[in-house]
Amino acid sequence: MLLAFALACAPQIDLAEVPCPLATNLLVTTADGATIALHHHPGKGPAVLLVHGVSSNARFWDLDADHSLATWLVKNGFDPWLLDLRGHGSARRDADGSPQISGWTVDDYGRYDVASAVDYVRAVTGEPQVGYIGHSMGGMVGAIYVANGGGPKLSSMVMVGSPATFNRKAPMMGLAQGAMAAGGASLFWVETGLAGEAAAALGPAAPRHLQRMLYNVSHLRPDTERSMLRHIASPLSREEMQQFGRMLKAERFESADASTDWAAAYREKLFPTLAIAGGADQVGRPEFVRPWAEGAGSAYVEIPDYGHLDLGLGEDAEIDVFPTIGEWLRAHPPSRPTPGSG
Mean pLDDT over 85-112 rounds to 94
Q: Using one digit for the tens of pLDDT, what is the confidence trace for 33-77? A: 999 999 999 999 999 999 999 989 999 999 999 999 999 999 999
pLDDT, the chain, mean: 86
Q: Whole-angstrom Cα distance, residue 219 to residue 304?
A: 12
Q: Specify the pLDDT at position 259.
A: 98
Between 266 and 183, the higher pLDDT residue: 266
> Please, are residues 315 and 68 in contact by the beta-carbon 8 Å criterion?
no
pTM check: above 0.95: no
Residue 208 pLDDT: 61
With pLDDT > 70 as the criterion, what percentage of the chain qualifies? 80
What number of other Cβ atoms are within 10 A of residue 35's Cβ? 22
Angle between helices 193-202 and 222-231 (to 10 degrees): 160
Is the distance from CB of 152 to CB of 272 less than 8 angstroms?
no
In degrees to the nearest 10, what's the CA dihedral of 236, 239, 240, 242?
110
pLDDT tens readout for residues 158-197: 999 999 999 877 665 655 655 555 544 444 434 444 344 4
Q: Average of pLDDT values for 283-298?
A: 94
Q: Give me the pLDDT at residue 199, please.
A: 45
> Taking a C-beta distance cutoff of 8 angstroms, is the pair 132, 246 a contact?
no
Helix (H, G, I), strand (E, B) or coil at 39: strand
pLDDT of residue 287: 96
Residue 317 near residue 67 (C-beta atoms within 8 A): yes
Cα angle 218, 220, 226 (rounded to 5 degrees) comes to: 130
What architecture is the 3-331 domain classified under in CATH? Answer: 3-Layer(aba) Sandwich (3.40)
Which tens digits make up the pLDDT trace of 127-138? Answer: 999 999 999 999
Phi, psi of 237 (to 5 degrees): -85, 155
